[in-house]
Structure 1
Amino acid sequence: MLALVPAVAGAGNAVLEDHLQVLRVDGSPLQVHLQRPSTPDKVPLLVYIDGSLCIPSTYNQSVAWLQGRLQGKSPFALAVIEKPGPTEPPLNKDGDIEIGPDFRCSEEFRRYYTIEQRVLDHLRVLQHLNRNAPWWNGELLIWGFSDGGRIGAQLASYYPKTRSVALVGFGGGSTMADSMEAMVCAEPEKRTECQATTRAQMDGIRKAPVPTRDWMGESNTYAAWASRLDAVEANVLRDLNAPLLVVHGERDGSVPVASARRLAELMQGSGVVFRYLEVPAMRHSLWGTDTEQESEALHEEVLAWLIGGADAAG
């Protein structure tokens, strides 16, 4: 299914909006949001991959930011392969998202959301576009955030025409099991007891990786956790054949910065064009900086890397 709608962005330079429905191998649908400049030239495709929260990916401010930059000096198309069955969150009187105690993820989300399934979903959509998108030049630019960084790390490694990669706030150098233990059990006086409890919880997840139970939030099923706990993305990123930028906040409270620092160590000697950018005082988002100006500058830097690739690496 395809709907093609021109979105006016100024005279003579409309942005074309597509909505695709692509089927998985079991026949279940994948929803794809596409925007591209109305140019006769073929353009690269930038895929933005959001984090794990079961709200629509298009709610992420970075998606809106990218939508306003499709027609610069180096135009590109933007694709968001939506999370399965996202729940639209309520908004408060100021128009901000509020995730309250009554918020629930859909059964579709709980069934299909794992790192491996999301990687397969993206590969499936790229297969479809390779055949049905005459405007695409075949080159892939990947921007992943949080869980999207984990997904993007594998997607970039497995898709042969990946041109450049930027991964934000995902760690990648140590297992999520180690990171979670370090984060949850930070208090020295309670560490031994906490470690035993946390390890038992994670062992239970590994033994029964089911989508019907969750840990640390509605979006985090046992199945999703099992796909994260023992993964170290450096294992595949060291064979990446594209320039890689990793950005992590010094004050990230969701993914410890130690994992990203370890990734930077492991990438040394790999031969991959690599840059690690650790941002002082930044939390778990490019928007989690002290000022909006700093966030804007970081977004510009990430996009410049994706567009410029090895050139942006110096």
Structure 2
Amino acid sequence: MRPALFALLALGPVSPASGHPRPSSEATDVVPRSVTSLQYLDKLPDWTAEQRHLLDIGFDEAIDLAKYARWELLPPGKSQVNKNSKIFKKYFRAEDVETVLGVFQSLLSDSTSGSDRLQAIHFGNIDPQAACDAVRPGDPVPPGTIALYTTPWSPHAADKASFIFVCPVVWQLGYPRTIHDIQCEATCANAAKKECWPSARMATYGGLILHELIHRTSQIKDRPKGLESGIFDESFKDTDGKTVLAYDSYYTQKLVKGAERSKALYNADSYAMFAREVWFTLKCPLIKYKDPDHWESTIPNNLKPKPKSAGVGMEEL
């Protein structure tokens, strides 16, 4: 499959100040710690203790974020899917709610076969596809900007190993160690003026890892119901005619507003950004997060910044 590309993402473990209770670490659909990728980390001598710890935390954060995304669509104790989520409609078509829910459910546990789709996920740093510094003609992603990518040991079996490969640039990102280190006010460009929207200010390692787990769970047979193919990194034509990657909140929301909106269902970052906004909306109930492109309607066309073809774009603001 295509490597998962670098983007400024943000997600993590969940215990928001309000909203749903924090899921128990002993819940039956959380992967047993003894069979996760973490045992593989100890076999790689060039991981530092801090790097192991950040991946350890990030894995747990990604699982918790997936739980909260699922709970946004199927609240605890409810049997009916929530089809009125305002956050969901920022990232996906309304008619795709059950399929998106199925992806998160498949990631957390496979209810049909009982197999755990995360059991065979491992971290590695050997870069077998030479993707970390790849220079490919026509590729919109600059060399050295891929942070993580996935590849299957066995693409069609939940009980065979798959890998998340970690590129050196990950350790240069300078993300907070956990999502709990991010204060609500710090997610805003100007909290006093209520200039707040989903952005790279929310970024953690857990978000990067969730993005990769979304890729992998969509590739294991039987894939989540409603998906005709796996979930990759989609591109689309922006309003200026340029082809951009549907990465970060800015471009994932623009994707679902445009003519190619059906691609959102097959775009990994749409899932990750949805989960991220669910978490911060619960953690920061006093902040109303605007759409990342809300400010574009307030400035003249000749002063609007041109989007970057690499798909990193407005998250850097």
TM-score calculated relative to the size of structure 1: 0.27
Q: Which has the larger radius of gyration?
A: 1
- Whose RCO is larger (CA < 8 A, sep 6+)? 2
In proportion to residue count, which structure has more strand? 1
